[in-house]
Amino acid sequence: METNSLILPTPSTISKIYSKLGTSQIKIDLDVTLLKEWMRKQPHLPNPNDDGKIIDEKRIKMFLITCKNSLEKTKVMLDQHYTIKLLVPEYLSKWDPSLPENIQSMKLSSFVPLPKPTHEGHRVSLCYLRNKDLHTFVCHDFFKLCLMAHDLRIAKLDIYNKDIFIIDLNNFSMSHVTACMPNIKKMFESTLAYPYRLHEAHLINTKSFMQPILNIVTSFLSTKISCRVNYHKSIEELKNYIDPSILPLNYGGTFPKTSDEITDDWHDELIRHREWFITQSSIVADNSKRPKSSNNNLDYIENSIEGSFRKLEVD
């Protein structure tokens, strides 16, 4: 894997991750081959053996790991991934980190994986606004970059166990919340393109006016997952959950860079993969070729999401 930004878990840690999932490197490689063959036989899905479409094997591998080594669940998620890219093109298409709006968003906001993994092999990601400038902040561009960052990690650069998110709300104002509210539904839809295994989420510098949007987000979480969301009064509390050697200098850690320096390194990584991004964002399902027996289609997904939002409005 080609990255200057991420330190991967040690081989022994990766072996432990596989062991807990009841698999091994050899078995995973065999399963990835089986999943590629399954994709090839699905008329509506991209053919992973087509040289014109770069279907990264590591994406399939990370989907398998995140789906807890279940082949059937991985098939569902791969189908859903390429289908949802049709449903939410505003976030999952036209990926080009060199576009002016994306460059601008990189200067204002960050969703960055921290370089060092935890000793269990979890990857910690930090989300924050780099300043309070609302006039040039565009929620759509910010969230699109979040998805691009996640996609690059799982498809090209990272091997990890579970996700840990640190969300720093220090520079968020009520105006930022208002700007993001109209995008919540589509943002939620786009996250369904990926399987996630959340170990913990840490919210710091929260403010009372942000509670409505936080309530909306947590309403989609199961009780099991919502119990993994932690609220902190200060940055110092993070060290009770995350080894300081992982945290940036300005977050009470000892990793020898600040969050902005780590973010700038990561944005260089995005730019370096520009051609890959452009290719990936055009690889989608062809629903006109979908077998009639499949229920994992646009209407099915759209109706399920609409049902969730109708329930939310009633509540």
Same domain? 172 vs 114: yes
Q: Does residue 40 belong to any structural domain of this protein?
A: yes
Task: Give the CA distances from residue 56 to residues 93, 98, 154, 155, 273, in Å, rounded to whole numbers and listed in that order.
Answer: 17, 22, 9, 6, 13
Same domain? 295 vs 267: no
| Range list of H helices, 70-162 | 71-87, 89-92, 100-108, 139-152
The single residue listed with the structure tokens 């770069």 is: 54
Q: Does residue 39 belong to any structural domain of this protein?
A: yes
Q: Does residue 236 belong to any structural domain of this protein?
A: yes
Give the chain's domain count.
Answer: 2
Same domain? 58 vs 169: no
Contact between 36 and 30 under an 8 Å Cβ cutoff? The reply is no
Same domain? 117 vs 225: yes
The predicted model scores a pTM of 0.88
For residue 73, give its domain range.
11-92+284-314
Q: Does residue 203 belong to any structural domain of this protein?
A: yes
Q: Does residue 4 belong to any structural domain of this protein?
A: no
Full pLDDT tens readout for the chain, 315 residues: 456 789 999 999 999 999 999 999 999 999 999 999 999 999 999 988 765 556 678 999 999 999 999 999 999 999 999 999 998 988 998 899 999 999 999 999 999 999 999 999 999 999 999 887 767 788 889 999 999 999 999 999 999 999 999 999 888 888 877 777 777 788 888 889 999 999 999 999 887 777 776 777 777 677 777 788 888 888 888 999 999 999 999 999 999 999 999 999 999 999 999 999 999 888 999 999 998 877 665 555 555 555 444 333 323
Would you give the distance in Å from CA 19 to the centre of its chain? 24
Same domain? 190 vs 254: yes
Q: Does residue 5 belong to any structural domain of this protein?
A: no
Q: Does residue 1 belong to any structural domain of this protein?
A: no
Same domain? 54 vs 120: no
Same domain? 150 vs 43: no
Q: Does residue 81 belong to any structural domain of this protein?
A: yes
Domain containing residue 236: CATH number: 3.40.525.10
